[in-house]
Structure 1
Amino acid sequence: MSQQAPTPIRTRIAPSPTGFLHLGTARTALYSWAYARHYGGQFVLRVEDTDVARSTQDSVDQILAAMKWLGLDYDEGPIYQMQRLERYQAVVEQMIAAGTAYRCYCTPEELDAMKAAQEARGEKRRYDGTWRPEPGKQLPAVPEGVKPVVRFKNPVSGDVVWDDVVKGPISINNREIDDLIILRTDGVPTYNFAVVVDDWDMRISHVFRGDEHVNNTPWQINIFNALGAPLPRFGHMPVILGDDGQKLSKRRGAVSVTAYEEAGYLPEAMLNYLSRLGWSHGDDELFTREQLVSWFDGSHLNKSPAQWDPAKLEWVNSQYIKQADDGRLALLVAEQLAKRGVQADAARLSAMVALYKDRCATTVALADWLAMYFGPVVPNAEERAAHVTEAVGPALAALADKFAGIEWNKAAIQAAIKEVITAHGLKMPQLAIPVRVLVCGRAQTPSVDAVLELFSKEIVIERLRSL
């Protein structure tokens, strides 16, 4: 069957608000967005909230926040399925009238008995067509007090064939699928039906989604055909595997996209890393959002599962941290410090960020470093014992006295340290490391004069005298 892509290009992301936006859905959203942007098309956000029992407003809010953080702007939406119930019900009535759908009055108990009998005979569990109308068939009498579901009258022969954007040609025989329920007794549509009506109404040209949906696609294609609706192109992405080689999911090890924001990752780094989990452009590791859009034409999508690598993500983020504007990083670090009850001036933080960002992979790591400027420090006991010895005590006291009489800038700090080193017959590490331990709470820092300059003189002197 022909699946030529209609124009203009229109893609969508359709998360279910039964939890957070997880990494697999975020990658799908990214690919859908990038594909639409590459071709000058449109990207639609649809919220599939028909699972009323499990859908929450908190989940909707988190999904919208994650999309905003990633910068995946949408041209239409959010569109909520539960606000479209009348539309689904109207299409169902049209299908019943056309003979492509029918009401089924089987009770849950009857369906359970039906499937148990099939299992006992070693057959595949499926609906047996009790209420499926056929020429010359006598249907059972409609039972009183039983609300019917509506089932799709799936073709009983032939193959469903499509050319998957990612996987290539796929064929599934109609004997493998049965007459699925498309409308529940409460009038709420099921996933496989609602998604078809939505994609039809919204003129979606390309559907990117996880390959767990491959088995849903034959039903959906058959429903599209029953409605006389144009088929979108389907692209089913392989799963993302966790460290343990198992699929990441809401129930297994996945964390929300916004958790990475809270953990100090930059959205451009997450976008860069996610895009490489199933797609590549030569050997390019780091690239801008604009380059991604320029390159993402639907080719070079991987057929094999991708491996989530936290260390690689951290490396990617560290590269973006190094390149980031100091003022922007200062605001992000100020937010991290505020979570710890520390109020820090962004202007002052900007100079600090410039000194430390080459050492940090996240803004949380930056906040860990810079916290020493805004509160007390507790030196590591082993480092203090190893470096802050009685032998160096006189030099530390002399340095504190020297600092008290100088202008507080890097050059003067450096000159004072050199004077004390010379006067006490020490080498630079013999004094600089104890100074770091007492003032910063750690033995390793950037250049000691640059580090001390960012403290107030009074705090440095006070910490040096806390022997």
Structure 2
Amino acid sequence: MTTVTRFAPSPTGKLHVGNVRTALHNWLLARKTGGKFLLRIDDTDAERSREEYVDAIRADLAWLGLTHDGEERQSLRTDLYEREFQRLVEAGRIYRAYETSQELDLKRKVLLGRGLPPIYDRAALNLTEDDHAAKAAAGEKPHWRFLLDHTQPITWDDGIRGPQNFDARQMSDPVIRRADGSWLYMLPSAIDDIDMGITDVLRGEDHVSNTATQIQMFTALGATPPRFAHEALLTGSEGKLSKRLGALGMADFRDQGIEPEAIVTLLARLGTSDPVDPSLDSAALAASFDLSRFGRAPARFDEADLHRVNAQIVHRLPYARVAHLLPEGMGEAAWEAIRPN
């Protein structure tokens, strides 16, 4: 089976080092096996999505050398989501609910006050058709929840974290569609992964609980779930990734004189115990990429390490790449003479 991975950013801001690491690792995983790396723009949030961010995402990936083998946009796929949504409604796997955010917050507080997990109580399942009609007559519009199957354990063998087990009874039925008809992340993502033939989903460990839910969505849609791997999140040199560093985009690094190969080299190894050897050969990086090398501990991103690797990369670059950085009058022969130093 051909490996097919994807990078699915939301165009609500610029890519930062955490996003880029995810994109890179998916690219390396695909290229290692001669597979495909797809770009999916998750732009269902019409209010926050911006076209300039879509353009910036494409430009950043191109600058880094992360070529993709196809692009999709969620905003152009809503007919597919609607069709699959209706199929799940008819199968009894999606239901209407009406609680306001304030009502849900009160329910959570009551449960927590009793020392119980704040799980949705499925009160909406007790509503009759007359109840729904009365709410519609009163102008109340429902949001929609996916009905988790409490009889089936949720398990998968995570490519980084190992065997994972979740009890659906300890999870809330997720809201998958708002009252205004707009989509939340969960269901469109699963539908897209099926339709695009995604075989491997590599993402941050903050998505582990999403994966547990989406595995049941894949099954409900009649599909085999892809392989999942969840890598530890990035932290800064002093622990939590600083707001400044987390907000830095690729354009900011370009302005600092950072070469794309330095970013790729460092992020390819971040999270492993492997040494960071400066490389201009992305094919070699892909060949040596191995999920089993990644640990569970947070991956520390130190900007000083990036500048150190960048200095080593610059000394390996051909004259044409560095001519604009050299003193006026320094020719190719002079650069070749000093480059090894």
Provide the TM-score with structure 2 as the length reference. Answer: 0.90
Distance in 1 of aligned mates of 2:101 and 2:129: 19
Aligned to 2:54: 60
* Kept after mapping to 1: 8 A contact 2:16/2:246: no
Match of 1:174 among 150, 168, 173: 168
Aligned to 2:68: 74
How far residue 178 of structure 1 moved from its aligned partner, in angstroms, is: 1.3
* Kept after mapping to 2: 8 A contact 1:241/1:308: yes
How far residue 202 of structure 1 moved from its aligned partner, in angstroms, is: 0.6
Is 1:18 paired with 2:21? no
Distance in 1 of aligned mates of 2:74 and 2:337: 48
Alignment of 1:129-168 (within 5 A): 129-132=122-125, 138=128, 141-142=131-132, 143=135, 144=137, 145-168=139-162
Aligned to 1:285: 277
Where structure 1 has 5 or more consecutive residues not aligned to the other structure, the ranges are 1-6, 335-343, 361-467
Match of 1:85 among 75, 78, 85: 78
How far residue 350 of structure 1 moved from its aligned partner, in angstroms, is: 4.2
Is 1:322 paired with 2:315? yes
How far residue 289 of structure 1 moved from its aligned partner, in angstroms, is: 1.0
Distance in 1 of aligned mates of 2:306 and 2:338: 16
**Larger relative contact order (Cα-Cα within 8 Å, sequence gap ≥ 6):** 2
How far residue 310 of structure 1 moved from its aligned partner, in angstroms, is: 2.0
* Kept after mapping to 2: 8 A contact 1:326/1:353: no
Alignment of 1:39-58 (within 5 A): 39-58=33-52
Matched AA of 1:327: A
Aligned to 1:275: 268
Query: Deviation per CA, 1:168-215, whole angstroms, max 9, x where unpaired?
Result: 111111122111111112222211111111111111000010111112
Q: What secondary structure is seen at the aligned counterpart in 2 of 1:299?
A: helix
Q: What secondary structure is seen at the aligned counterpart in 2 of 1:163?
A: strand
Distance in 1 of aligned mates of 2:13 and 2:337: 36
Structure 1 window deviating more from structure 2 (349-358 vs 97-106): it is: 349-358
How far residue 113 of structure 1 moved from its aligned partner, in angstroms, is: 3.8
Give the RMSD, CA atoms, in angstroms: 2.6
Aligned to 2:121: 128
Q: What secondary structure is seen at the aligned counterpart in 2 of 1:204?
A: coil
Match of 2:293 among 292, 300, 311: 300
Alignment of 1:92-241 (within 5 A): 92-132=85-125, 138=128, 141-142=131-132, 143=135, 144=137, 145-241=139-235
Distance in 2 of aligned mates of 1:178 and 1:279: 34
How far residue 140 of structure 1 moved from its aligned partner, in angstroms, is: 6.4
Distance in 2 of aligned mates of 1:353 and 1:238: 44
Evaluate the alpha carbon distance shift between residue 245 and residue 352 of structure 1 in structure 2; reply closer, same or farther with a 3 A threshold: farther
Distance in 2 of aligned mates of 1:146 and 1:117: 25
* Kept after mapping to 2: 8 A contact 1:9/1:40: yes
Distance in 1 of aligned mates of 2:157 and 2:20: 24
Evaluate the alpha carbon distance shift between residue 132 and residue 171 of structure 1 in structure 2; reply closer, same or farther with a 3 A threshold: same
Distance in 1 of aligned mates of 2:122 and 2:152: 18
* Kept after mapping to 2: 8 A contact 1:104/1:149: yes
Alignment of 1:248-397 (within 5 A): 253-279=246-272, 283=275, 285-287=277-279, 288-331=281-324, 333=325, 348=329, 350=331, 354=335
Q: What secondary structure is seen at the aligned counterpart in 2 of 1:296?
A: coil
How far residue 54 of structure 1 moved from its aligned partner, in angstroms, is: 2.2
Q: What secondary structure is seen at the aligned counterpart in 2 of 1:171?
A: strand
Distance in 2 of aligned mates of 1:54 and 1:138: 36
* Kept after mapping to 2: 8 A contact 1:65/1:258: no
Distance in 1 of aligned mates of 2:337 and 2:44: 48
Matched AA of 2:44: T
- What percentage of aligned pairs have identical amino acids? 36
Q: What secondary structure is seen at the aligned counterpart in 2 of 1:132?
A: helix
Where structure 2 has 5 or more consecutive residues not aligned to the other structure, the ranges are none
Structure ID, larger Rg: 1
Distance in 2 of aligned mates of 1:100 and 1:170: 24
Matched AA of 1:206: D
Query: Deviation per CA, 1:298-324, whole angstroms, max 9, x where unpaired?
Result: 332232221112222222111111111
